[in-house]
A and B are shown apart, each in its own frame.
Chain A
Amino acid sequence: MFFFPILFAVLDSETDRALAARLQAREPEALRELYDKYGRLAYSVIFRVVRNAAAAEDLTQETFLRVWNRMAGFDAQRGSLGPWVLTVARNRAIDYVRSIDGRMSQNAIELTGAESPALFLDMESVILNTQRAKLLQSAFQRLSDHQRTVIELAYFEGLSQTEMAGRLGQPLGTVKTWVRSALRQLREEMEEPVTA
Protein backbone atom coordinates (compact mmCIF):
# COMPACT_ATOMS: atom_id res chain seq x y z
CA MET A 1 0.00 0.00 0.00
CA PHE A 2 1.36 3.38 -0.95
CA PHE A 3 0.08 5.64 1.74
CA PHE A 4 2.22 8.20 3.39
CA PRO A 5 0.91 11.69 3.79
CA ILE A 6 2.54 14.63 2.17
CA LEU A 7 3.97 16.74 4.92
CA PHE A 8 3.67 20.42 4.45
CA ALA A 9 4.07 23.52 6.53
CA VAL A 10 1.37 24.64 8.89
CA LEU A 11 -0.73 27.11 6.99
CA ASP A 12 -2.45 29.57 9.21
CA SER A 13 -5.68 30.99 7.94
CA GLU A 14 -4.51 34.58 8.51
CA THR A 15 -1.67 34.06 6.07
CA ASP A 16 -4.00 32.51 3.54
CA ARG A 17 -6.40 35.43 3.84
CA ALA A 18 -3.60 37.87 3.10
CA LEU A 19 -2.45 35.68 0.23
CA ALA A 20 -5.97 35.54 -1.21
CA ALA A 21 -6.25 39.33 -1.08
CA ARG A 22 -2.94 39.67 -2.92
CA LEU A 23 -4.02 37.12 -5.52
CA GLN A 24 -7.16 39.13 -6.11
CA ALA A 25 -4.96 42.19 -6.58
CA ARG A 26 -3.13 40.15 -9.28
CA GLU A 27 0.23 40.41 -7.50
CA PRO A 28 2.67 38.18 -9.38
CA GLU A 29 4.52 37.33 -6.16
CA ALA A 30 1.27 35.99 -4.72
CA LEU A 31 0.93 33.42 -7.52
CA ARG A 32 4.49 32.27 -6.83
CA GLU A 33 3.63 31.87 -3.15
CA LEU A 34 0.43 30.01 -3.95
CA TYR A 35 2.34 27.55 -6.10
CA ASP A 36 5.10 27.16 -3.51
CA LYS A 37 2.49 26.34 -0.85
CA TYR A 38 0.18 24.05 -2.75
CA GLY A 39 2.00 23.10 -5.96
CA ARG A 40 3.58 19.89 -4.66
CA LEU A 41 0.41 18.69 -3.01
CA ALA A 42 -1.77 19.52 -6.03
CA TYR A 43 0.72 17.78 -8.36
CA SER A 44 0.83 14.73 -6.05
CA VAL A 45 -2.96 14.37 -6.06
CA ILE A 46 -3.13 14.78 -9.82
CA PHE A 47 -0.25 12.39 -10.43
CA ARG A 48 -1.90 9.77 -8.19
CA VAL A 49 -5.06 10.02 -10.29
CA VAL A 50 -3.64 10.19 -13.82
CA ARG A 51 -0.37 8.23 -13.25
CA ASN A 52 1.29 10.09 -16.10
CA ALA A 53 3.90 12.79 -15.50
CA ALA A 54 3.22 14.82 -18.66
CA ALA A 55 -0.54 14.87 -18.09
CA ALA A 56 0.00 15.69 -14.41
CA GLU A 57 2.07 18.74 -15.40
CA ASP A 58 -0.61 19.93 -17.83
CA LEU A 59 -3.35 19.47 -15.28
CA THR A 60 -1.41 21.15 -12.45
CA GLN A 61 -0.89 24.12 -14.74
CA GLU A 62 -4.59 24.14 -15.57
CA THR A 63 -5.42 24.00 -11.85
CA PHE A 64 -3.34 27.03 -10.91
CA LEU A 65 -4.46 29.06 -13.93
CA ARG A 66 -8.08 28.26 -13.09
CA VAL A 67 -7.59 29.45 -9.51
CA TRP A 68 -5.65 32.54 -10.66
CA ASN A 69 -8.35 33.46 -13.17
CA ARG A 70 -11.25 32.85 -10.79
CA MET A 71 -9.99 34.72 -7.76
CA ALA A 72 -12.61 37.43 -8.38
CA GLY A 73 -15.26 35.01 -7.15
CA PHE A 74 -13.32 34.07 -3.99
CA ASP A 75 -14.12 35.60 -0.60
CA ALA A 76 -10.70 36.63 0.70
CA GLN A 77 -12.01 37.19 4.24
CA ARG A 78 -13.91 33.92 4.70
CA GLY A 79 -12.53 31.76 1.90
CA SER A 80 -10.30 28.70 2.32
CA LEU A 81 -7.62 28.62 -0.35
CA GLY A 82 -6.07 25.20 0.29
CA PRO A 83 -9.27 23.14 0.11
CA TRP A 84 -10.29 25.04 -3.03
CA VAL A 85 -6.97 24.44 -4.81
CA LEU A 86 -7.02 20.74 -3.92
CA THR A 87 -10.62 20.33 -5.02
CA VAL A 88 -9.89 21.96 -8.36
CA ALA A 89 -6.79 19.76 -8.75
CA ARG A 90 -8.65 16.53 -7.97
CA ASN A 91 -11.56 17.47 -10.22
CA ARG A 92 -9.31 18.37 -13.17
CA ALA A 93 -7.60 14.98 -12.82
CA ILE A 94 -10.84 13.00 -12.53
CA ASP A 95 -12.32 14.88 -15.51
CA TYR A 96 -9.20 14.01 -17.49
CA VAL A 97 -9.27 10.26 -16.77
CA ARG A 98 -13.01 10.17 -17.44
CA SER A 99 -12.56 11.90 -20.80
CA ILE A 100 -9.71 9.69 -22.00
CA ASP A 101 -11.41 6.52 -20.78
CA GLY A 102 -14.69 7.60 -22.34
CA ARG A 103 -15.99 6.77 -18.89
CA MET A 104 -18.75 8.78 -17.34
CA SER A 105 -20.98 7.48 -14.64
CA GLN A 106 -24.62 7.77 -15.63
CA ASN A 107 -25.31 9.87 -12.59
CA ALA A 108 -22.00 11.55 -11.91
CA ILE A 109 -22.45 15.28 -11.41
CA GLU A 110 -20.53 17.90 -13.32
CA LEU A 111 -17.43 18.30 -11.17
CA THR A 112 -16.93 21.93 -12.13
CA GLY A 113 -20.11 22.81 -10.28
CA ALA A 114 -18.67 21.59 -6.99
CA GLU A 115 -15.55 23.74 -7.14
CA SER A 116 -17.00 27.21 -7.33
CA PRO A 117 -14.78 29.52 -5.22
CA ALA A 118 -17.89 30.84 -3.50
CA LEU A 119 -18.40 27.43 -1.82
CA PHE A 120 -15.07 27.37 0.00
CA LEU A 121 -15.99 29.44 3.03
CA ASP A 122 -15.45 29.10 6.76
CA MET A 123 -13.31 25.98 6.71
CA GLU A 124 -11.14 26.97 9.63
CA SER A 125 -11.01 23.42 10.95
CA VAL A 126 -9.49 22.01 7.78
CA ILE A 127 -6.43 24.16 7.77
CA LEU A 128 -4.10 21.76 6.10
CA ASN A 129 -1.14 20.90 8.25
CA THR A 130 1.13 18.04 9.07
CA GLN A 131 -0.68 17.15 12.28
CA ARG A 132 -4.05 16.80 10.58
CA ALA A 133 -2.51 14.87 7.72
CA LYS A 134 -1.03 12.40 10.23
CA LEU A 135 -4.36 12.17 12.02
CA LEU A 136 -6.09 11.34 8.76
CA GLN A 137 -3.43 8.82 7.82
CA SER A 138 -3.81 6.94 11.09
CA ALA A 139 -7.62 7.07 10.81
CA PHE A 140 -7.31 5.74 7.28
CA GLN A 141 -5.07 2.90 8.42
CA ARG A 142 -7.68 1.86 10.97
CA LEU A 143 -10.25 1.29 8.21
CA SER A 144 -10.78 -2.24 6.94
CA ASP A 145 -9.15 -3.28 3.65
CA HIS A 146 -12.49 -3.00 1.89
CA GLN A 147 -13.14 0.47 3.28
CA ARG A 148 -9.68 1.70 2.25
CA THR A 149 -10.16 0.29 -1.24
CA VAL A 150 -13.48 2.03 -1.83
CA ILE A 151 -12.15 5.38 -0.55
CA GLU A 152 -9.23 5.11 -2.96
CA LEU A 153 -11.57 4.21 -5.83
CA ALA A 154 -13.87 7.10 -4.99
CA TYR A 155 -11.34 9.85 -4.38
CA PHE A 156 -8.48 8.91 -6.67
CA GLU A 157 -10.30 7.12 -9.48
CA GLY A 158 -13.65 8.89 -9.40
CA LEU A 159 -15.68 5.68 -9.51
CA SER A 160 -19.34 5.80 -8.53
CA GLN A 161 -20.63 3.19 -6.10
CA THR A 162 -22.20 1.29 -9.02
CA GLU A 163 -18.89 1.30 -10.88
CA MET A 164 -17.07 0.13 -7.74
CA ALA A 165 -19.52 -2.73 -7.33
CA GLY A 166 -18.78 -3.81 -10.92
CA ARG A 167 -15.02 -3.43 -10.47
CA LEU A 168 -14.95 -5.33 -7.18
CA GLY A 169 -17.57 -7.93 -8.12
CA GLN A 170 -19.58 -7.10 -5.01
CA PRO A 171 -23.29 -6.29 -4.55
CA LEU A 172 -24.07 -2.56 -4.73
CA GLY A 173 -25.54 -2.62 -1.22
CA THR A 174 -22.32 -4.02 0.19
CA VAL A 175 -20.23 -1.36 -1.53
CA LYS A 176 -22.55 1.39 -0.28
CA THR A 177 -22.13 0.09 3.25
CA TRP A 178 -18.33 0.11 2.95
CA VAL A 179 -18.26 3.62 1.46
CA ARG A 180 -20.63 5.16 3.95
CA SER A 181 -19.11 3.52 7.00
CA ALA A 182 -15.61 4.54 5.84
CA LEU A 183 -16.55 8.17 5.28
CA ARG A 184 -18.38 8.29 8.60
CA GLN A 185 -15.45 6.74 10.47
CA LEU A 186 -12.95 9.17 8.91
CA ARG A 187 -15.21 12.13 9.66
CA GLU A 188 -15.68 11.13 13.27
CA GLU A 189 -11.98 10.54 13.84
CA MET A 190 -11.06 13.88 12.33
CA GLU A 191 -13.43 15.53 14.83
CA GLU A 192 -14.05 19.29 14.65
CA PRO A 193 -16.82 20.12 12.20
CA VAL A 194 -16.55 23.04 9.83
CA THR A 195 -17.90 26.19 11.36
CA ALA A 196 -21.24 27.39 10.04
Chain B
Amino acid sequence: MSDTNRDTLYELYALGLLEEPELSEIEAELRSGSPDAQRLLRQALANNAMLATLAPAADPPPRLRRRILAAAGVEEKTGWTWIGAWGLATAALLGGLVYFSTEATRLRKDGFSVREELAVTQTELRRSHATLAFLRDPGTTILKSGSSEERQPVARVFVNPGQGVLLIANNLPRLEPGKVFEMWLVPKSGGPIPAGTFSADASGAALHRSTGSFDPNATAAVALSVEPDGGSPAPTTTPFLITGM
Protein backbone atom coordinates (compact mmCIF):
# COMPACT_ATOMS: atom_id res chain seq x y z
CA MET B 1 0.00 0.00 0.00
CA SER B 2 1.47 3.39 -0.97
CA ASP B 3 1.53 6.19 1.60
CA THR B 4 -0.94 8.22 -0.47
CA ASN B 5 -3.29 5.27 -0.66
CA ARG B 6 -2.98 4.71 3.07
CA ASP B 7 -3.89 8.36 3.75
CA THR B 8 -7.07 7.84 1.75
CA LEU B 9 -7.90 4.53 3.42
CA TYR B 10 -7.52 6.11 6.85
CA GLU B 11 -9.76 8.99 5.79
CA LEU B 12 -12.42 6.52 4.66
CA TYR B 13 -11.96 4.59 7.90
CA ALA B 14 -12.37 7.73 9.99
CA LEU B 15 -15.56 8.53 8.08
CA GLY B 16 -16.88 5.05 8.96
CA LEU B 17 -17.01 4.09 5.27
CA LEU B 18 -14.13 1.72 4.69
CA GLU B 19 -15.11 -1.75 3.51
CA GLU B 20 -13.49 -5.16 3.49
CA PRO B 21 -10.82 -6.22 2.88
CA GLU B 22 -9.15 -2.85 3.57
CA LEU B 23 -11.17 -2.39 6.79
CA SER B 24 -9.54 -5.42 8.41
CA GLU B 25 -6.10 -4.21 7.29
CA ILE B 26 -6.52 -0.79 8.88
CA GLU B 27 -8.04 -2.22 12.06
CA ALA B 28 -5.11 -4.62 12.36
CA GLU B 29 -2.66 -1.73 11.97
CA LEU B 30 -4.45 0.26 14.66
CA ARG B 31 -4.66 -2.73 17.01
CA SER B 32 -0.92 -3.21 16.66
CA GLY B 33 -0.43 0.12 18.41
CA SER B 34 1.77 1.38 15.57
CA PRO B 35 2.59 5.10 16.07
CA ASP B 36 2.43 5.52 12.30
CA ALA B 37 -1.10 4.14 12.23
CA GLN B 38 -2.13 6.49 15.04
CA ARG B 39 -0.58 9.43 13.20
CA LEU B 40 -2.42 8.56 9.99
CA LEU B 41 -5.71 8.24 11.86
CA ARG B 42 -5.24 11.61 13.54
CA GLN B 43 -4.36 13.20 10.21
CA ALA B 44 -7.43 11.62 8.60
CA LEU B 45 -9.68 12.90 11.39
CA ALA B 46 -8.20 16.37 10.95
CA ASN B 47 -8.70 16.36 7.18
CA ASN B 48 -12.24 15.06 7.54
CA ALA B 49 -13.10 17.74 10.09
CA MET B 50 -12.26 20.41 7.51
CA LEU B 51 -14.94 18.98 5.19
CA ALA B 52 -17.51 20.25 7.70
CA THR B 53 -16.83 23.76 6.43
CA LEU B 54 -18.40 22.78 3.09
CA ALA B 55 -21.82 22.61 4.72
CA PRO B 56 -24.12 25.47 3.79
CA ALA B 57 -24.49 27.92 6.66
CA ALA B 58 -27.58 27.35 8.78
CA ASP B 59 -28.45 29.46 11.80
CA PRO B 60 -29.53 27.53 14.89
CA PRO B 61 -32.49 29.08 16.70
CA PRO B 62 -31.48 31.19 19.74
CA ARG B 63 -33.40 28.82 22.03
CA LEU B 64 -30.93 26.04 21.20
CA ARG B 65 -28.15 27.77 23.16
CA ARG B 66 -30.43 28.01 26.19
CA ARG B 67 -31.50 24.37 25.79
CA ILE B 68 -27.92 23.12 25.71
CA LEU B 69 -26.82 25.20 28.67
CA ALA B 70 -29.87 24.14 30.67
CA ALA B 71 -29.35 20.49 29.80
CA ALA B 72 -25.74 20.76 31.00
CA GLY B 73 -26.93 22.34 34.25
CA VAL B 74 -25.48 25.72 33.31
CA GLU B 75 -27.70 28.76 33.83
CA GLU B 76 -28.00 31.10 30.85
CA LYS B 77 -26.77 34.68 31.30
CA THR B 78 -29.62 37.06 30.77
CA GLY B 79 -27.99 40.49 31.07
CA TRP B 80 -29.23 41.21 34.55
CA THR B 81 -27.55 44.58 34.81
CA TRP B 82 -29.53 46.10 32.01
CA ILE B 83 -32.69 44.23 32.78
CA GLY B 84 -32.42 45.07 36.47
CA ALA B 85 -32.04 48.80 35.91
CA TRP B 86 -34.85 48.84 33.43
CA GLY B 87 -36.94 46.70 35.73
CA LEU B 88 -36.48 49.03 38.70
CA ALA B 89 -37.52 52.06 36.70
CA THR B 90 -40.48 50.20 35.35
CA ALA B 91 -41.40 48.92 38.77
CA ALA B 92 -41.47 52.45 40.15
CA LEU B 93 -43.98 53.45 37.52
CA LEU B 94 -45.89 50.27 36.99
CA GLY B 95 -45.43 48.12 40.09
CA GLY B 96 -48.39 46.05 39.30
CA LEU B 97 -46.79 44.77 36.15
CA VAL B 98 -43.99 43.09 38.11
CA TYR B 99 -46.33 40.44 39.36
CA PHE B 100 -47.56 39.61 35.87
CA SER B 101 -44.04 39.76 34.47
CA THR B 102 -42.86 37.28 37.12
CA GLU B 103 -45.74 35.00 36.35
CA ALA B 104 -45.00 35.17 32.63
CA THR B 105 -41.33 34.34 33.24
CA ARG B 106 -42.27 31.36 35.37
CA LEU B 107 -44.66 30.11 32.72
CA ARG B 108 -42.01 30.54 30.00
CA LYS B 109 -39.55 28.55 32.10
CA ASP B 110 -42.15 25.86 32.68
CA GLY B 111 -42.81 25.77 28.96
CA PHE B 112 -39.11 25.53 28.24
CA SER B 113 -38.71 22.64 30.68
CA VAL B 114 -41.56 20.80 29.03
CA ARG B 115 -40.02 21.32 25.57
CA GLU B 116 -36.68 20.16 26.94
CA GLU B 117 -38.21 16.98 28.34
CA LEU B 118 -40.09 16.47 25.09
CA ALA B 119 -36.89 16.73 23.02
CA VAL B 120 -35.13 14.21 25.24
CA THR B 121 -38.14 11.90 25.08
CA GLN B 122 -38.27 12.17 21.29
CA THR B 123 -34.60 11.27 21.03
CA GLU B 124 -35.15 8.29 23.33
CA LEU B 125 -38.21 7.27 21.35
CA ARG B 126 -36.26 7.24 18.08
CA ARG B 127 -33.62 5.06 19.69
CA SER B 128 -36.27 2.76 21.12
CA HIS B 129 -37.79 2.36 17.65
CA ALA B 130 -34.40 1.48 16.22
CA THR B 131 -33.84 -1.05 19.04
CA LEU B 132 -37.26 -2.60 18.53
CA ALA B 133 -36.65 -2.92 14.79
CA PHE B 134 -33.39 -4.71 15.60
CA LEU B 135 -35.10 -7.10 18.03
CA ARG B 136 -37.98 -7.82 15.62
CA ASP B 137 -35.68 -8.65 12.73
CA PRO B 138 -35.90 -12.39 11.97
CA GLY B 139 -32.11 -12.51 11.64
CA THR B 140 -31.58 -11.52 15.29
CA THR B 141 -30.57 -14.26 17.75
CA ILE B 142 -29.98 -14.07 21.49
CA LEU B 143 -26.99 -15.09 23.63
CA LYS B 144 -26.70 -14.83 27.40
CA SER B 145 -23.90 -14.63 29.92
CA GLY B 146 -23.31 -13.90 33.59
CA SER B 147 -24.49 -15.38 36.84
CA SER B 148 -28.15 -15.88 37.71
CA GLU B 149 -27.29 -14.94 41.29
CA GLU B 150 -28.80 -11.74 42.49
CA ARG B 151 -26.66 -8.61 41.98
CA GLN B 152 -24.11 -10.40 39.78
CA PRO B 153 -23.51 -8.85 36.34
CA VAL B 154 -25.61 -10.46 33.66
CA ALA B 155 -25.89 -9.72 29.94
CA ARG B 156 -28.19 -10.63 27.10
CA VAL B 157 -26.59 -10.17 23.72
CA PHE B 158 -28.64 -10.01 20.51
CA VAL B 159 -26.72 -10.52 17.32
CA ASN B 160 -27.80 -9.85 13.77
CA PRO B 161 -25.37 -10.32 10.88
CA GLY B 162 -26.88 -7.42 8.95
CA GLN B 163 -27.45 -5.00 11.83
CA GLY B 164 -24.78 -5.57 14.46
CA VAL B 165 -24.90 -6.40 18.16
CA LEU B 166 -27.26 -5.24 20.92
CA LEU B 167 -26.29 -5.67 24.57
CA ILE B 168 -28.75 -5.48 27.48
CA ALA B 169 -26.91 -5.74 30.80
CA ASN B 170 -27.93 -5.60 34.43
CA ASN B 171 -26.15 -5.41 37.78
CA LEU B 172 -23.08 -3.82 36.21
CA PRO B 173 -20.53 -2.61 38.76
CA ARG B 174 -20.38 1.05 39.74
CA LEU B 175 -17.66 2.86 37.79
CA GLU B 176 -15.02 5.22 39.13
CA PRO B 177 -15.03 8.73 37.64
CA GLY B 178 -13.34 8.82 34.22
CA LYS B 179 -14.15 5.17 33.47
CA VAL B 180 -16.61 3.63 31.02
CA PHE B 181 -17.67 0.15 29.97
CA GLU B 182 -16.36 -0.96 26.58
CA MET B 183 -17.81 -3.77 24.50
CA TRP B 184 -15.49 -6.02 22.49
CA LEU B 185 -16.13 -8.42 19.62
CA VAL B 186 -13.65 -11.24 20.12
CA PRO B 187 -12.81 -12.88 16.78
CA LYS B 188 -11.89 -16.55 16.55
CA SER B 189 -8.44 -15.38 15.53
CA GLY B 190 -6.84 -12.03 16.32
CA GLY B 191 -7.32 -9.47 19.05
CA PRO B 192 -10.60 -8.07 20.38
CA ILE B 193 -12.29 -5.42 18.21
CA PRO B 194 -13.65 -2.33 20.00
CA ALA B 195 -17.46 -2.13 19.73
CA GLY B 196 -18.22 1.12 21.54
CA THR B 197 -18.29 2.51 25.05
CA PHE B 198 -21.24 3.16 27.33
CA SER B 199 -22.27 3.79 30.93
CA ALA B 200 -24.87 2.16 33.16
CA ASP B 201 -27.63 3.87 35.09
CA ALA B 202 -27.72 4.05 38.89
CA SER B 203 -29.16 0.53 39.14
CA GLY B 204 -26.36 -0.93 36.99
CA ALA B 205 -28.59 -1.41 33.93
CA ALA B 206 -27.35 -0.54 30.44
CA LEU B 207 -28.34 -0.91 26.81
CA HIS B 208 -25.67 -0.57 24.12
CA ARG B 209 -25.78 -1.20 20.39
CA SER B 210 -22.86 -1.61 18.02
CA THR B 211 -24.01 -0.97 14.48
CA GLY B 212 -20.76 -2.01 12.84
CA SER B 213 -20.25 -5.07 10.68
CA PHE B 214 -20.69 -8.39 12.42
CA ASP B 215 -19.84 -11.89 11.24
CA PRO B 216 -21.13 -14.50 13.73
CA ASN B 217 -19.09 -17.25 12.06
CA ALA B 218 -15.83 -15.40 12.62
CA THR B 219 -16.68 -14.28 16.18
CA ALA B 220 -15.94 -16.29 19.30
CA ALA B 221 -17.47 -14.05 21.96
CA VAL B 222 -18.75 -10.64 22.98
CA ALA B 223 -16.97 -9.25 26.07
CA LEU B 224 -17.15 -6.26 28.42
CA SER B 225 -14.33 -4.53 30.25
CA VAL B 226 -13.83 -1.30 32.19
CA GLU B 227 -11.76 1.27 30.28
CA PRO B 228 -10.75 4.94 30.53
CA ASP B 229 -13.35 7.40 29.25
CA GLY B 230 -13.14 7.56 25.47
CA GLY B 231 -12.38 3.86 25.22
CA SER B 232 -9.23 1.91 24.39
CA PRO B 233 -8.01 0.31 21.16
CA ALA B 234 -7.44 -2.94 23.12
CA PRO B 235 -8.66 -4.01 26.59
CA THR B 236 -6.58 -2.58 29.42
CA THR B 237 -8.44 -4.54 32.12
CA THR B 238 -9.58 -8.14 32.26
CA PRO B 239 -13.04 -8.48 30.69
CA PHE B 240 -15.52 -9.23 33.48
CA LEU B 241 -18.36 -10.51 31.33
CA ILE B 242 -17.86 -12.76 28.32
CA THR B 243 -20.70 -14.05 26.19
CA GLY B 244 -19.73 -16.96 23.96
CA MET B 245 -21.22 -17.36 20.50
Interface residues of A, Cβ cutoff 8 Å to B: 2-7, 28, 31-32, 35-36, 39-41, 43-45, 47-48, 53-54, 56-58, 60-62, 64-65, 68, 70, 72-73, 80, 82-84, 86-87, 89-91, 94-96, 98-100, 102, 104-114, 116-123, 125-126, 128, 132-133, 136-137, 140, 151, 154-156, 158-162, 179-180, 183-184, 186-187, 190, 193-194, 196
Contact code string B159-194 (vs A, CB < 8 Å = 1, else 0)? 000111000000000000110000000000000001
Q: Please, which residue of chain A has its CB at the minimum distance from the CB of B119? A: A58
Q: Please, which residue of chain A has its CB at the minimum distance from the CB of B56? A: A2
Q: How far does the alpha carbon of A28 sit from the alpha carbon of B67 in the complex, in Å?
A: 14
Pairwise interchain contact B230-A82, C-beta atoms closer than 8 A: no
Pairwise interchain contact B213-A83, C-beta atoms closer than 8 A: no
Q: Which of B19, B39, B60 has the most CB of A within 10 A?
A: B60
Q: How far does the alpha carbon of A166 sit from the alpha carbon of B43 in the complex, in Å?
A: 29
Q: Please, which residue of chain A has its CB at the minimum distance from the CB of B26? A: A109
**B16 CB-CB contact with A under 8 Å:** yes
Q: Which of B50, B55, B71, B162 has the most CB of A within 10 A?
A: B55
Contact residues in A for B43 (Cβ distance below 8 Å): 193-194
Q: Which listed residue (A104, A162, A184) contacts B164, Cβ 8 A?
A: A104
Contact residues in B for A105 (Cβ distance below 8 Å): 17, 19, 213
Q: Please, which residue of chain A has its CB at the minimum distance from the CB of B199? A: A69
Q: Which listed residue (A28, A58, A89) contacts B123, Cβ 8 A?
A: A58
Contact residues in B for A194 (Cβ distance below 8 Å): 39, 42-43, 46-47
Pairwise interchain contact A120-B52, C-beta atoms closer than 8 A: no
